[in-house]
Chains A and B, each alone.
Chain A
């Protein structure tokens, strides 16, 4: 067919667009625009929340591991470490790590819902809609981040049990840090889920990556006097840049000696320079945005 004929067909179709009198409640779908994309982001986000709310088992199972770490490992190990924690309870020290762990697992598994959606066909419902791939990915990222932050808040509510004060400024600071971390980790999960087609492979990959990420983040030990190989590994781990601000926020509100603070929450250093909290948070955000963009590109490419 000649191009001009195509165009004529398109033009005639456009000209014929008008409300049809005989169709009851026939809806008119507007042209694509920012408002439409935002509606799409919102509904993808809402779906994540609805599904999370329906899955009570998931809410509980996601809390088991951090609670075990905090109360069983934290209590048990404290018998060995009493002399070295400068009078600070080991559970108090591990609290930021437990928060990070909660968020880590919840975020990444929330992002895994993309793999489920693909397997059960629902992803196609989203991919054939007249919306940008970015809206789907951003909606998913915000949904996963909200869910993970909620789980983190449940652990945060246990602060009093491990000797961390319920100070409003502390709670607000930690909440903000958890939200940012949740977003970045969900973005990481989405980036992985964009490429991985089977849920088994996704589980295997995340299992393989999550524990090393967690152990190398300083969630369970201070970042101070580490051997150089371990120092390097912690510095290249994005999770380190999220755990450290949480720990520094917590320690700023603890009634402990300056020495204890220096030993247990020395802050992250780059070749002797102490990285300010805001820069750490910028690193986390940059990782998140970067991985999200890779995720969007993957979905665009897959079309």
Chain B
């Protein structure tokens, strides 16, 4: 497992540096020895099913929980020993909203700025800048209770930026949002990367969202399975996914096994199998399968396939099968 890797701007000081991180709750080991580095300016994603230890790791990095073992430096400061320095240099957007819904958008930001000691003179400019970035400047006087889920999430991102943090943590930034809002949140995150001198660390269990990251760490059962760029990860899978519909699916599966030596299975009403160079394979398939084919599709490897190839399971199955609920409950009980 080559989990130690140098970021794209290797040589400059690291935004996050984690070594041998372990977090144990009574009987559950939520994080089991994690190492990684994040370079300044990078968008770094933690990908994995619920209960993989992503939120626990983020909570350690945000100084919310103390690590059982190992060290973690954020913006150069130790998360266990220099907590106030870490806190001053990070912005946080949690899975669950942490806005005061009885206050206006502006009051929420002002509260945050005062807690972080943002100089009063720069407050109005900064407030306007972050609110305009997330498109909420016009709604600054509205009580947060009247906001939609997407607006609340945008406001939380704006608030997390109020004190110009070096590292912004986004824990499942788009969970529970509709697809359109999700993509607009990603628009803001991309914009943010351009406008601010900031490192972004996020967790997600949406495979498609991980593609927005510069680098991805795949986490499963408390450990990092692999860290690389989305492109490199996809290339490492090497095989394409072919789906065919036939007039006789069981015969097609048998034929694939006998004539091509391939293990196919039924998935969503079609015969599915993986093969290197899928597009070149399809003409052969038509000639040699011996079962009439009614439709065919070839998909390039996705991060789903990457996850599958590294963990041997799909992310959905991993979520269903893992004891994630127990771990999450244990985490919640500590808050």
Contact = CB atoms under 8 A, between A and B. Distances in A.
A20 B64 CA distance: 29
A128 B17 contact: no
Contacts of A32: 84, 88, 117
Contact of B73 (A9, A25, A29, A55): A9
Interface of B: 13-14, 17, 19, 62-64, 66, 71, 73, 75-78, 83-85, 87-88, 92, 94, 96-103, 107, 110-112, 114-119, 122-123, 125-126, 129, 143, 162-164, 196-197, 335
The 7 closest A-B pairs by CB, nearest first: A13-B76, A43-B114, A121-B98, A130-B87, A129-B115, A25-B125, A36-B117
Given A14-B76, A120-B101, A128-B87, 10 more contacts: A16-B13, A24-B129, A25-B125, A25-B126, A32-B88, A121-B98, A121-B99, A125-B100, A127-B64, A128-B64
Nearest to B116: A29
Given A25-B126, A124-B98, A50 B107 contact: yes
Given A23-B164, A26-B164, A126-B115, A9 B13 contact: yes
A30 B164 CA distance: 12
Nearest to B78: A6
Which of B98, B115, B125 has the most chain A CB atoms closer than 10 A to its own CB? B115
A25 B116 contact: no
A64 interface: no
A25 B122 CA distance: 7
Contacts of B75: 13
A39 B83 CA distance: 19
Interface string A36-66: 1001101100010011001100000000000
B111 A1 contact: no
Contact of B116 (A20, A121, A130): A130
A39 B97 contact: no
Contact of A1 (B71, B114, B115, B119): B71
B97 A121 contact: yes
A128 B92 contact: yes
A166 interface: no
Contact of A124 (B17, B64, B103): B64
Interface in A135-172: none
Given A40-B114, A121-B96, A128-B92, A29 B164 contact: yes
Interface in A82-131: 118, 120-122, 124-131
B88 A29 contact: yes
A208 interface: no
B124 to A, nearest CB: 9
16 contacts: A9-B73, A14-B76, A16-B13, A24-B129, A25-B129, A26-B196, A51-B103, A54-B102, A55-B102, A121-B94, A121-B96, A122-B98, A122-B99, A125-B100, A129-B112, A303-B66
A12 interface: yes
A1 B19 contact: yes
Interface residues of A, number: 42
A259 interface: no
A55 to B, nearest CB: 8
Contacts of A118: 335
Nearest to A35: B117
A274 interface: no
A151 to B, nearest CB: 18
Contacts of B63: 128
B7 to A, nearest CB: 14
B98 A39 contact: no
B94 A124 contact: yes
A33 to B, nearest CB: 8
Contacts of B77: 10, 13
Nearest to B76: A13
A201 B83 CA distance: 32
A47 to B, nearest CB: 6
B103 A27 contact: no
Contacts of A29: 88, 116-118, 163-164
A23 B197 contact: yes
Given A20-B197, A29-B164, A128 B62 contact: yes
A207 B88 CA distance: 40
Contacts of A6: 71, 73, 78
Given A29-B116, A40-B114, A130 B92 contact: no
B98 A27 contact: no
